[in-house]
Structure 1
Amino acid sequence: MRMTPTHGIRPNMLQFSLQLLQVFLVGSLVGMTRTVLPKLAESDFGLAATSFMALATFVAVFGVVKAGLNLAAGSLSDRWGRRRVLILGWLSALPVPFLILYGPSWGWIILATVFLGINQGLSWSMALNSKLDLTHARQRGLVNGFNEFAGYGGVALAGIFSAVVVEAYGARLGLFLFSTAVIVSALVIAQILVRETRPWALLHLGDASTAPEPMAMRRLFGYASWGNRSLFALNQAGLVEKFTDAIVWLFFPVYFLANGMSLVASGGLVAVYGLVWGGGQLVTGPLSDRISRKLMIVVGMWLCGAGVLAVSVTTTPWLWVAELTVIGAGMAMLYPTLGASVADHADPAQRAGILGIYRFWRDLGYALGGLGLGLVAQLSEGITLPFWFVGVSMFLSGLYLMVRLSSPVTART
């Protein structure tokens, strides 16, 4: 039975909840690598714990692919529909379990990362866009908070559960079983239960029929990337904050394992960061509508930098829990607020394109941060200096944003 589109979370609760489940599963698929990656590299491919560039390549490739697809996902969904792109994202993930299980070299794991990045770029974007389609414009902050909570909750919990499965079945088989269950579940839900939300999106556009013609993409990219000083400040902050997530992904498990923690315990520690980050955004997203966004971003950047530095000089699990809580709180403060601030500084007619460009630079931070961390670790023959690389970068980036970010010309809408 066809329904007349009506905006709001309550009248669309079933589809809204299904899209939250979709982004939780997307987060779970990438989250399985957060703890297990170093063990897989060492146990099944003979990479030494000091093969930092090999580990960094995994994150760098993921970032490049996901960043590129952030630019393409929106236009694809306008032509094909949200649901088709969502399903395409999950179909692109199907090779991942088999490449992990049967790949004869680390290069095959890097290839799996390409498909993982495609899945993230398409399916995560569509799950968010569909929820925005279904809801009122005034609910966007709340929607983003729910979305990030579900996605990074999936990342955090998958880090624990995948570690348990890997301990029981080994790295390859454990990741194969976990990733297959996630992908098949998501595909079944998307194919049978998820509805196309383009009619809801068109209803939004109907409320803004007098909007000016959008700017050409090449011109818009230059304007949003370096032509507007506030957007440049926000883009660089989005890029640099991924250095924090990259070091948590790459080197925190290595550091915890080297200090005597088990794989499952290491996964639990990393999960603290993800759960605080995800859950905190339910508070910080709406809070940023009431207080200075600049203040929240700068404080969040500096909290993350301080927390990363603190982890590198402590060896006590309870201190690590406290420090990971600080890092997660910092990410919760800055992450949704950066996106909201970009929207504040964008003309409504160009907002979707400018947000896509911001996400491109933000996720390119995985690539630049991953390669930078790997290079610093390789040259210094240890992982202490990368912690300082991230801490100092976060402080300087926050300082630059504090100086260069101006107040938006128009009021928040």
Structure 2
Amino acid sequence: MKNQSHTRTLGLKENWQQFSLLVIVNAFVGAMIGLERSILPELAEKEFNLAAKSAILSFIMVFGFTKAFLNYFAGRLSDTFGRKKVLIAGWLIAIPVPFLLMWAPSWTWILIANVFLGASQGLTWSTTVIMKIDLVGSKQRGLAMGLNEFAGYFAVAGSALLTGLIAADYGVRPEPFFLGVVYIIAGLILSIFFIHETRHHVAIELKDHQHEDLSQKDIFLKTTFKDRNLSSVTQAGFVNNLNDGMAWGLFPILFASAGMSLREIGWLAAIYPASWGLLQLWTGHLSDKVGRKWLIVLGMWTQAIGIIVTVSFLNKFGFSVGALLLGTGTAMVYPTLLAAIGDVAHPAWRASSVGIYRLWRDSGYAIGALISGVVADYFGINSAIWLIAMITFASGVITALRQSETAPDKLPLRISVEDLNSLIEKQKVIVIDVRSKEEFEDGHISIAIHREKATLPDSISQLPKTAHIVTNCGKGGGRSIEAAEYLRKNGWTKAQWLEGGYIAWKESSDRKTKGIQMT
């Protein structure tokens, strides 16, 4: 063990074997959801004679709330007991699921199966996300999340298609659910015998970060409300799964009402997660290249358009195009949101923040099913679908107005005094004054350290490459721009220069005076 600790490194290439195994494990995790994706609404109507849409969608509410609750604790448990143990526990909890779905004598037992499924998904999927973030570090976080979500949701699509085809030939029970037994056995064998613990990799990343110790209450509030970026990501994730909860429950019923056969419903139910899963191979990596914010905004708007197309063109072609657009929009958003959480959250409490984000995100399943079910019962399916489309579009607007770019090397080179003051208040910035010694002594930003521009190559090597650095001169521009550009070219990807310089900060009515102090 001692030798292993010395050879641990961060990176996708450096850890490709463990990363690949985790991708395969997450495919089996996703396949478990696919068991229900195309046939459970049919099962509710035909075998259990449920008529109310809210009753039919109750299995999604139970699944969503349970998964959300376990998501929250998955992060905390993985920090306390280790990632691997939590992953194995998640697979053990899944064991009753296929058998309950095969032999449930009443709808209540289907709901119980979804309690087990939600708990299992909360532990297994959250843990595979956390483990991949542990392994790759910051440089390829978007690509890593894209690969993770591709595996999971492409498997959802494949499993949904298989269960639909099996149900068309053999009936909705028990044969389609035999697949679940295979998924669980494979997932358990890989997790027990081949997956290694990854939380020790966090220590490598911590070396390049300032110490930051927060209580669980503080982390919850930052992720949910206080931090503009974390909370913007959280609301977008919530709405994303809100519309997915609606699509999961209402789209198969909509397809059936338009005359689609069970086999056709299986294919249509697979298009959405298949496009979602496949495109994440590209969109996760794309977010590393172009940034997170506008990929999220455009993704939410694309989802809204897909939902509108589905409900407006009630035929097989319209359903297919709508599902493809919804899957494309979700692919733009899903890995990018997780990457943005990784960008903003400190490594010391990132696992907990991911758990809180996934708590709210997967609550969207339940709330989406609840809202769309009730609205469908009172006003019709079409009204429920239109409502969810409008909420999805509004979420994109909120992100556009509230979130800033979080990708480490996509920050704008310039920063305003207002944004600097916010960073100073949060103690998340190092300010470097690049003027002469005489200018610095005449007056400087309260927490600034003095490094003349010409001395930067020899005087900043001790600063961590992940630090958020702001350079300033007197009026902004010139020396501070050159210093920020030098820092970026040499690995300090979060370097920015202060617009207006020291004079603008001095004249600011809201200037902050406490922050990271360095010498």
- Alignment TM-score, normalising by the size of structure 2: 0.74
Give CA-to-partner distance per residue, 1:370-411, whole Å, 9 cap, x none: 11011101112x311111111111112212222222455656
SS of equivalent to 1:269: helix
Task: Please give the alpha-carbon distance, in whole angstroms, between the structure 2 residues aligned to 1:75 and 1:211.
Answer: 21
Match of 1:200 in 2: 201
Is residue 276–residue 329 contact of structure 1 (8 Å, CA) maintained in 2? yes
Tell me if 1:396 matches 2:394.
yes
Q: Mapping of 1:26-105 within 5 angstroms?
A: 26-48=29-51, 51-105=52-106
Residue range with higher mean Cα deviation, 363-372 or 291-300? 291-300
Gaps (5+ residues) in structure 1? none
Task: Please give the alpha-carbon distance, in whole angstroms, between the structure 1 residues aligned to 2:237 and 2:393.
Answer: 13
Deviation at 1:288, TM superposition (A): 2.1
SS of equivalent to 2:289: coil
Residue range with higher mean Cα deviation, 299-308 or 335-344? 335-344
Equivalent residue letter for 2:67: K
Task: Please give the alpha-carbon distance, in whole angstroms, between the structure 2 residues aligned to 1:353 and 1:194.
Answer: 21
Match of 1:228 in 2: 227
Match of 1:246 in 2: 245
Deviation at 1:151, TM superposition (A): 0.5
Is residue 277–residue 331 contact of structure 2 (8 Å, CA) maintained in 1? yes
> Comparing both chains, which one has the higher relative contact order based on Cα–Cα distances under 8 Å and sequence gaps of 6 or more?
1
Match of 1:212 in 2: 211
Give CA-to-partner distance per residue, 1:226-282, whole Å, 9 cap, x none: 223443333222211112211221111111122222222212112111121112122
The percentage of counterpart residues that share the same residue type is 41
Is residue 26–residue 123 contact of structure 1 (8 Å, CA) maintained in 2? yes
Higher Rg: 2
Task: Please give the alpha-carbon distance, in whole angstroms, between the structure 1 residues aligned to 2:225 and 2:16.
Answer: 40
Provide the alpha-carbon RMSD of the alignment.
2.3
Is residue 165–residue 178 contact of structure 1 (8 Å, CA) maintained in 2? no
SS of equivalent to 2:259: coil
Count how many residue pairs are aligned between Structure 1 and Structure 2: 408
Is residue 82–residue 196 contact of structure 1 (8 Å, CA) maintained in 2? yes
Is residue 66–residue 117 contact of structure 1 (8 Å, CA) maintained in 2? yes
Is residue 130–residue 351 contact of structure 2 (8 Å, CA) maintained in 1? no
Residues 227 and 379 (structure 1), Cα distance of their counterparts in 2 relative to 1, 3 Å cut: same
Match of 1:313 in 2: 312
Gaps (5+ residues) in structure 2? 407-422, 424-467, 469-492, 496-519
Tell me if 1:5 matches 2:8.
yes
SS of equivalent to 2:288: coil
Equivalent residue letter for 1:128: V
Task: Please give the alpha-carbon distance, in whole angstroms, between the structure 2 residues aligned to 1:124 and 1:363.
Answer: 12
Q: Which structure has greater helix proportion?
A: 1
Residue range with higher mean Cα deviation, 4-13 or 58-67? 4-13
Task: Please give the alpha-carbon distance, in whole angstroms, between the structure 2 residues aligned to 1:216 and 1:60.
Answer: 30
Task: Please give the alpha-carbon distance, in whole angstroms, between the structure 2 residues aligned to 1:13 and 1:212.
Answer: 29
Match of 1:170 in 2: 171
Q: Mapping of 1:365-404 within 5 angstroms?
A: 365-380=364-379, 382-404=380-402
Residue range with higher mean Cα deviation, 394-403 or 91-100? 394-403
Match of 2:277 in 1: 278
Task: Please give the alpha-carbon distance, in whole angstroms, between the structure 1 residues aligned to 2:16 and 2:94.
Answer: 27
Equivalent residue letter for 2:24: L
Residues 147 and 412 (structure 1), Cα distance of their counterparts in 2 relative to 1, 3 Å cut: farther
